[in-house]
Amino acid sequence: MYKKPKVIIPATLITNWSGFSNQPDGGGLEILSNSTSDTGLCTIWGTNKLTGALEVETVTLAGTVEVKTAMLQWDDIIAVFVGDRYGGNITAAVGTITVREASANQTVITLSAADTHAGMLMIDARGHNVEIDNASGKIYWNTLSVASATNGYYDVGTASNRFKVGVKDYLSIISDDTGCTTSVIVYED
């Protein structure tokens, strides 16, 4: 049963992804912007160097002042989202947001003005019904692990795709093309 929407992510650019540079490899992260207006939420998705488990942390940006993550054992960063872990509270970047490893200030990824995410689109939709509407291009999603063309589900054309995300699973979305868009609706239980 699909109840009223809990979160609606509008048509969002989904790109191909081959990994970010300067992965932390067991360190912390710092996030900052070149604009004092970037004060919204920023969510980081990545793996834990010690356990290999998928981790997620949300911080509140402080404009041009760096914000450190509480997690100090990041390994591979796979997604950065300017909003909360559930796909809500989206505030597109005003300036350029930089995510960098804390130990050497090496840039992992930047989000340009008007961007909402980099890497995969990751959403904490555990236990919720979701709908993915593919506006354009090849979109792959997975609810067990990170999505890829080999382990994901391909959304053909503009067909509507509705399914329930497992109670322990996250939703990940990626493309193997450039310039693809999709919208996501997460429904209340």
Taking the CA atoms of residue 66, residue 72, residue 73 and residue 78 in that order, the dihedral angle to the nearest 10 degrees is: -30
Question: Phi-psi bin for 26: left (phi > 0), alpha (psi -120 to 50), beta?
Answer: left
Contact 175, 15 (CB under 8 A): yes
Q: Tell me, what's the pLDDT at 159? A: 66
* Helix or strand (DSSP H, E) at 31: strand 29-33
Domains of the chain, CATH where assigned: 5-16+121-187 (2.60.120.10), 29-119 (no CATH)
The pTM score is 0.91
Contact at 8 Å (CB) between 47 and 55?
Answer: yes
Residue 92 has a pLDDT of: 93
Predicted confidence at residue 158, as pLDDT, reads 63
- Amino acid 1: pLDDT: 60
Residue of 119, 36, 52, 48 lying closest to 81 (CA atoms)? 119
How confident is the prediction along the chain (189 residues), in pLDDT tens digits per residue?
667 888 888 888 888 877 788 999 999 999 999 999 999 999 999 999 999 999 999 999 999 999 999 999 999 999 999 999 999 999 999 999 999 999 889 999 999 999 999 999 999 999 999 998 877 888 889 998 889 888 988 877 666 788 889 998 899 999 887 778 888 999 987
